[in-house]
């Protein structure tokens, strides 16, 4: 119950019930008994103030005041303030100890009927209904009050569960949004790492060519310009994914761009021997992008850290594509500050495409990327 509603209930009970009870007690009973009834009725109304915060305690206080009234006269049930008992029963059944409420609702009417039947002033005057009828009426009133309180308790519990479910859904939605944002940040970080690492490697290599081989300087500068332009385009494409719809973006690199990538690395001095076995097929854009980034990072690492030629074995099987890159043992390991960043990015990209990455450093540095692929061939078996 809202605070203003509770204050209205207490005020209405005090205005409508208490004055009538005081007048009836002082007029119909001897002076000492009337004063006792008045004091008990006032105490019962004061106890009603605790019904919102301590409903069970308020019910027990009201029942105690009513019991004192019953000890004074068997006609206490006719006083208007007695209606505070079903009001308190409803409050306890809704917010307090419902077992006490049900016990009072079951025992109270019986004791009231017994006191009514054994009061000489009642039996001598033949006033009022039969005791058994009074017991039935009071039991019905108290039972209705408890039943309505239990119904209110169920409504409050259902509302609390609904609010808790909504809060849980909100937390779950927030968690998924944060996880999606973290995944997007990780993807963008991998894209930037792949683009910058590859382009800077090419630029550094061509700068050395231009410095130590003056006759090849113009060609080296052309390669540097083309690489910088391509890297700038890739960076713009990556950043546009933050605000543009996919349909507005330029096509992402895929398997068709691998020959140009290999040729660019060969111009830097990395010998790449590519061999394709099986029938090449068209893969999904996300899978082809993952393979392109894998190859870009692997070739860059091979040029920076490896020794000897790089053997590229590309095997198209019935249900999967396996790309194996085999290089000599790295001449110098990755610096501690960035160890494994590129390899971790390869693994995450391939895992997102449903593939796997295997690394073997036992006899040579070997990377094996495996991704699922459709069974319908769109190319011819060949070797390069």
pLDDT in tens, 343-375: 777 888 788 788 899 888 776 778 899 999 876
CA distance 340 to 354: 21
Torsion of CA 294, 300, 301, 305, to 10 degrees: 170
82, 67 Cβ separation under 8 angstroms? no
DSSP β-bridge partners for residue 275: 313
**What is the distance, to the nearest Å, from the Cα of residue 372 to the centroid of all Cα atoms in its chain?**
32
- Tokens representing residue 265 in the block: 């690395």
Same domain, 145 and 28: yes
Closest by CA to 104, choosing from 67, 133, 134, is: 67
CA distance 208 to 269: 12
- Tokens representing residue 27 in the block: 């007029």
- Tokens representing residue 306 in the block: 């490896």
Same domain, 142 and 270: no
Residue 237 lies in a domain: no
Domain count, the chain: 2
Give the pLDDT mean for 2-19.
86
Spell out the residues 6+ positions from residue 372 whose beta carbon is closer than 8 angstroms to its own.
287, 319, 320, 321, 354, 355
Range of the domain at 136: 3-165
* Least trusted range by pLDDT, from 146-160, 177-191, 213-227: 177-191
Residue 242 lies in a domain: no
Same domain, 263 and 142: no
CA distance 90 to 81: 16
Same domain, 142 and 19: yes
Residue 182 lies in a domain: no
CA distance 274 to 251: 25
Residue 353 lies in a domain: yes
CA distance 256 to 361: 29
Number of H helices, E strands in the chain: 12, 5
Q: List the beta strands (DSSP E) in 241-364.
A: 272-277, 310-316, 320-327, 356-360
Of 147, 165, 183, the one marking the end of a domain is: 165
Of 136, 165, 194, the one marking the end of a domain is: 165
Summarize pLDDT for 27-54 with one digit per residue, the tens.
Answer: 888 889 999 999 999 999 999 999 988 9
Same domain, 142 and 260: no
Summarize pLDDT for 213-247 with one digit per residue, the tens.
Answer: 777 788 778 777 777 777 777 777 666 665 554 44
Same domain, 159 and 260: no
Summarize pLDDT for 55-107 with one digit per residue, the tens.
Answer: 999 999 999 999 999 998 888 888 999 999 999 999 999 999 999 999 999 99
Residue 320: give its domain's CATH number.
3.30.565.10
Give the pLDDT mean for 315-343.
69
Same domain, 15 and 149: yes
Q: Where is pLDDT greater, at 298 or 339? A: 298
Of 114, 137, 165, the one marking the end of a domain is: 165
Host H or E run for residue 38? helix 31-47
234, 195 Cβ separation under 8 angstroms? yes
Rg from Cα positions in the chain? 44
**What is the distance, to the nearest Å, from the Cα of residue 48 to the centroid of all Cα atoms in its chain?**
42
Residue 227 lies in a domain: no
pTM score, whole prediction? 0.51
302, 273 Cβ separation under 8 angstroms? no
Same domain, 258 and 150: no
Residue 348 lies in a domain: yes
Residue 220 lies in a domain: no
Same domain, 9 and 158: yes
Residue 77 lies in a domain: yes
In the chain, the largest separation of any two C-alpha atoms, in whole Å, equals 135
Q: Is the dihedral of CA 258, 260, 263, 267 positive or negative?
A: negative
């Amino acid at each position: 119950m809202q605070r203003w509603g509770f204050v209205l209930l207490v005020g209405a009970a005090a205005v409508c019930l208490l004055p009538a009870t005081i007048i009836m007690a002082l007029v119909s009973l001897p002076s000492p008994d009337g004063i006792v009834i008045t004091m008990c009725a006032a105490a019962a109304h004061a106890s009603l103030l605790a019904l919102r915060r301590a409903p069970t305690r308020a019910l027990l206080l009201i029942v105690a005041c009513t019991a004192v009234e019953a000890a004074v006269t068997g006609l206490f049930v006719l006083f208007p303030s007695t209606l505070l008992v079903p009001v308190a029963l409803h409050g306890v059944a809704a917010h307090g100890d419902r077992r006490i409420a049900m016990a009072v609702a079951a025992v109270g009417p019986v004791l009231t009927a017994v006191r009514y039947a054994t009061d000489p002033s009642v039996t001598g005057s033949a006033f009022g209904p039969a005791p058994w009828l009074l017991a039935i009426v009071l039991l019905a009133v108290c039972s209705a009050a408890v039943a309505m309180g239990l119904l209110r308790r169920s409504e409050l519990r259902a509302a609390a569960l609904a609010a808790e479910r909504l809060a849980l859904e909100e937390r779950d939605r927030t968690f998924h949004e944060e996880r999606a944002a973290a995944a997007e940040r990780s993807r963008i970080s991998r894209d930037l790492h792949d683009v910058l690492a590859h382009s800077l490697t090419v630029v550094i290599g061509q700068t050395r060519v231009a410095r130590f081989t003056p006759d090849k300087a113009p060609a080296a500068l052309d390669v540097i310009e083309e690489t910088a332009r391509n890297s700038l385009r890739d960076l713009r494409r990556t950043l546009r994914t933050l605000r543009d719809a996919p349909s507005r973006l330029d096509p992402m690199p895929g398997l068709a761009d691998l020959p140009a990538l290999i040729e660019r690395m060969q111009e830097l001095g990395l010998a790449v021997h590519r061999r394709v076995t099986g029938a090449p097929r068209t893969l999904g854009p996300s899978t082809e992008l993952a393979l392109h980034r894998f190859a870009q990072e692997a070739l860059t690492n091979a040029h920076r850290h490896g020794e000897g030629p790089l053997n590229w074995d590309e095997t198209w099987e019935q249900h999967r594509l396996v790309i194996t890159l085999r290089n000599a043992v790295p001449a110098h390991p990755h610096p501690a500050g960035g160890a494994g960043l590129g390899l971790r990015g390869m693994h995450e990209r391939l895992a997102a495409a449903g593939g796997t990455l295997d690394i073997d450093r036992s006899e040579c540095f070997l990377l094996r990327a495996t991704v699922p692929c459709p069974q319908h061939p769109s190319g011819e078996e060949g070797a390069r």
